[in-house]
Structure 1
Amino acid sequence: MTTYDLLGIGVGPFNLSLAALADPLEDVSTLFLEEKPEFSWHPGLLIDGTTLQVPFLADPVTLADPTSQWSFLAYLAEHERLYPFYFAENFHISRREYDHYCRWVSEELPSCRFGQRVTAVHWDADGEVFRVEAQDVHTDRCETFAARNVVLGVGTEPVVPAPLRGLPDKEVFHSSSYLDNAESLHEAGDITVLGSGQSGAEVFLDLLRSPHAPGQTLRWLTRSRAFAPMEYSKLGLEHFTPDYTRYFRSLPQHTRDSVLAGQGQLYKASSAGTLAAIHDVLYERGVGGRDPDVTMMPNVAVTQAHRGDDAIELTCHHTEQDREFTVHTQRLVLATGYAARRPSCLDPLTDVVCWDSSGRYRVSDDYRVALDDAVTGGLYVQNAEMHTHGVGAPDLGLGAHRASVILNAVTGRDAYPLARRGAFTTFGLD
């Protein structure tokens, strides 16, 4: 049995970054397993006209190795799109093209295997390796792989608030499956979008622009105090640099938790461009004194919900006025975000993982999870360490940097030299 230096569980953008940057390293053997049949990045939200919120330079490799054969520019050259991209002058590429680009990389990399469901990860003390059990989703054939290091890149999962669970799937669904349900939405007489992050804004804008039933009512509710844009100033973006990550790491955990609680505007809100586009559509709808027939209300928390005779009935609380009211709607789109999950395949390692007081991974500077001293192998995480590394954890712009740090740790050398400074801001004292 081959023993891999590094085995990745999940092939999303972050483990894809690790696979691509590891590809030219002759002293590192890697394997990446993904349950899906092919690379797929938020397929339910690949809405026409939507773009990444980061520049195309935030691809899986460029910010670590601009000469990589797996860069976005290399993809454009391979698909004869360099000149069209050059003339388009788009710093922020479409989500659809980013998904196609990542799929191209994943199909070209021999280390990426799809249709493989990882069912369990064990520590083999005798062999000093992790034993990773996987099942082929098509044939049910099981196979075990050995690896000195394992990297979790399983991503996040949609969050459905407790009051909204158990409602009919065809009438109440998360925005992650928006395109799968778009047809039923266009036929509904009353639609409510809940949540004012980027996904909520994009869904609301698409519904505004799409053909709809005569007299359709469209509603946008959020707990936030305003439909305000995400912080996107040049200095504000320096929170998504290795410099800020190093600073955040220097803080005690209780301070980190407190800081994160106040940084929602850095990563949870919607873009100013999307909000401006919504306003433009509403302005055009109002020409000639017409009623746009749209309700947009902040400061609203949904406290209860149930299926009535002909609609979903929502009990809502206006937080600033401290008043309750009821909303009846035929369709409810939940743009209520995502959360990191602990995969069940890690259950055999539960007793050897060193959890913090809140049941989270304890993660070191190099993204390695703290394990019992008897375990000599390395368990690393990608996008499950916001509580230890800050708001940049889910940001695509730091993906190549994190992958570089992990590869340097695994190889014991500077496989990818890290920049000493990337921000003008001095976040704290040395």
Structure 2
Amino acid sequence: MTRFNKQNNIVDVIGIGIGPFNLGLAALSEEVNEINALFFERSEAFHWHPGMLIEGTTLQVPFLADLVSMADVKSKYSFLNYLQEQNRLYSFYFLEDFHIPRKEYSHYCRWVADQLDSCRFGMNVESVSLIEKAGEKRYEVHVRHVKDQTVEVFESKHLVLGIGTQPAIPASLQPALGEKVFHSADYLKRKKEGCFKGKSVTVIGSGQSAAEVFYDILSDDEAKDIHWFTRSKGFFPMEYSNLGLEYFSPDYIDFFYELPQAKKDALLKQQDLLYKGISSAMIRDIYHLLYERSACGNQLNTVLQAMTEVNLIEETAGGLSLSCTQWVKEESFTHETDIVVLATGYQSVLPPFINPISHHIQWDDQGRFQVEREYRLKTNTMGENDIFVQNAELHTHGVGAPDLGLGAYRNSVIINELARQTVYPLYQKHVFQTFGTHKNAHTFEEIKG
């Protein structure tokens, strides 16, 4: 058996991509003797949605959804320890708010990343293949250093894919992308360039990002006018009641995972407002600002219009022309504007480096990963050379897949699997409600019998 050792570029597990989820895995596995890990990220430093770190925006989850606390509150990588190290503990105590600034969360993650030797930035994974040496199979990972373009080869028994998501842009709108039409992921960069001053701006999208962009542009009062179009039925709040939040729990994952795939897919389509809506606080802030701006007979330079599909964006001599449809009334219209911000969400994209091992992976009939309950892909090498996934299991594990609050739980499961022992206990019964049928209840057939 090979002794896995970082010194000879052979480790137990390689994590590809360093977002919050794989960063949490690196932090939680640092002192686990049974796991020798490396994590690679092509960016040269930790960045978390830099284009949307808008002043005044907060995480949509409490600070306990940091990288480690929901698995180990005693970890030195907790947010509370970060505050203490930053001499901000009393400030946070007086803040009396569970929801922390988004900028501070990003800074906290970078603080953790800077302390972890297992995290290697500026290293782009180009290919992964399955090899066999001395009767033992391993993954061979080719990594290119971004600075000098040299390639280094690593070997690993297992992989963890944490590559995140990419901006999702409807195919019909992609030809218009450029200086005047861009995704919200580039919002702050474009704002710093002054592209909104004196311009007519249109925001497209229905979620939190669209709302934050709209509010930020409205607050600066630099745009000539602002339109906000969404194809959704309205500008609705995300479900944030206590019982609604229980859907982001291991208990709900257990329930959802056992459902037939057809029922999972149907259920997910009905749960958008569990994770895609707008926070009530943001809706309140927008409404208050609109109310204040409209006082004393002032005319607003804003339009908010739901149930509207933007089908095409074309450049004209004077700016941009949007071909739109109010789909409930089935009315088509055109809208003229100077700038379009596409707050159209994000999507998972299969990276090219996975192509050499794609034939080892089992796919469902829609071309998606088949994922076991323990976040392990179903492959031809299961148990010997596993591939775990982070936030690529929405279709198998439910709405909690992208939620930061479940990141430490998922990493606990993965670490226990890699170490072949219980490193982090996985407790039962986290919620008050029952998602399936209560164990003491009797089915109709049982009563009838």
Pick aligned residue for 1:135 from 144, 151, 160: 144
- SS of 1:368's equivalent in the other structure is coil
Aligned 1:383-402 pairs, distance under 5 A: 383-402=391-410
Give the letter aligned to residue 327 of structure 2: T
CA distance in 2 between partners of 1:382 and 1:147 (Å): 18
CA distance in 2 between partners of 1:351 and 1:158 (Å): 27
Aligned 1:361-372 pairs, distance under 5 A: 361-372=369-380
User: What's the counterpart of residue 171 of structure 2?
Assistant: 162
Query: Could you tell me whether the CA contact under 8 Å between 1:163 and 1:302 is conserved in 2?
Result: no
User: What's the counterpart of residue 18 of structure 1?
Assistant: 25
CA distance in 2 between partners of 1:289 and 1:332 (Å): 29
Q: Shift in Å at residue 312 of structure 1?
A: 1.2
CA distance in 2 between partners of 1:123 and 1:319 (Å): 50
User: What's the counterpart of residue 208 of structure 2?
Assistant: 198
Query: Could you tell me whether the CA contact under 8 Å between 2:196 and 2:339 is conserved in 1?
Result: no
Query: Could you tell me whether the CA contact under 8 Å between 2:127 and 2:352 is conserved in 1?
Result: yes
Q: Shift in Å at residue 405 of structure 1?
A: 0.3
Q: Shift in Å at residue 28 of structure 1?
A: 1.0
Q: Shift in Å at residue 383 of structure 1?
A: 0.4
User: What's the counterpart of residue 98 of structure 1?
Assistant: 105
- SS of 2:64's equivalent in the other structure is helix
CA distance in 2 between partners of 1:375 and 1:144 (Å): 23
Aligned 1:145-156 pairs, distance under 5 A: 145-156=154-165
- Mapped pair 1:69 → 2:76: yes
Aligned length: 428
Q: Shift in Å at residue 193 of structure 1?
A: 0.2
Query: Could you tell me whether the CA contact under 8 Å between 1:188 and 1:331 is conserved in 2?
Result: no
* CA deviation vs aligned residue, 1:25-84 (integer Å, no higher than 9, x gap): 122111000000000000000000000000000001000000000000010111111111
Q: Shift in Å at residue 2 of structure 1?
A: 3.7
* CA deviation vs aligned residue, 1:262-321 (integer Å, no higher than 9, x gap): 100101111010010000100010111111111000000011221111211111010111
- Mapped pair 1:55 → 2:55: no
- SS of 1:56's equivalent in the other structure is coil
CA distance in 1 between partners of 2:372 and 2:336 (Å): 48
CA distance in 2 between partners of 1:396 and 1:380 (Å): 17
* CA deviation vs aligned residue, 1:408-428 (integer Å, no higher than 9, x gap): 111111110011111111000
- Mapped pair 1:283 → 2:291: yes
Q: Shift in Å at residue 375 of structure 1?
A: 8.0
Pick aligned residue for 1:122 from 117, 129, 134: 129
User: What's the counterpart of residue 304 of structure 2?
Assistant: 296
Query: Could you tell me whether the CA contact under 8 Å between 2:237 and 2:280 is conserved in 1?
Result: yes
The two structures have a TM-score, normalised by structure 1, of: 0.98
Give the letter aligned to residue 152 of structure 1: L
CA distance in 1 between partners of 2:262 and 2:345 (Å): 24
| Cα RMSD (Å) | 1.1
- SS of 1:351's equivalent in the other structure is helix
Question: Deviation above 4 Å: which 4+ runs of structure 1?
Answer: none
Query: Could you tell me whether the CA contact under 8 Å between 1:172 and 1:332 is conserved in 2?
Result: yes
Percent of pairs with identical residues = 45
Q: 1:53 to 1:36 in 2, by over 3 A?
A: same
Give the letter aligned to residue 91 of structure 2: P
CA distance in 2 between partners of 1:374 and 1:317 (Å): 49
Structure 2 residue runs of 5 or longer lacking an equivalent are: 1-7, 440-449
- SS of 2:56's equivalent in the other structure is coil
- Mapped pair 1:187 → 2:197: yes
Q: Shift in Å at residue 143 of structure 1?
A: 0.6
Give the letter aligned to residue 169 of structure 1: G
- SS of 1:146's equivalent in the other structure is strand
User: What's the counterpart of residue 381 of structure 1?
Assistant: 389
CA distance in 2 between partners of 1:374 and 1:426 (Å): 32
- Mapped pair 1:81 → 2:88: yes
- Mapped pair 1:31 → 2:38: yes
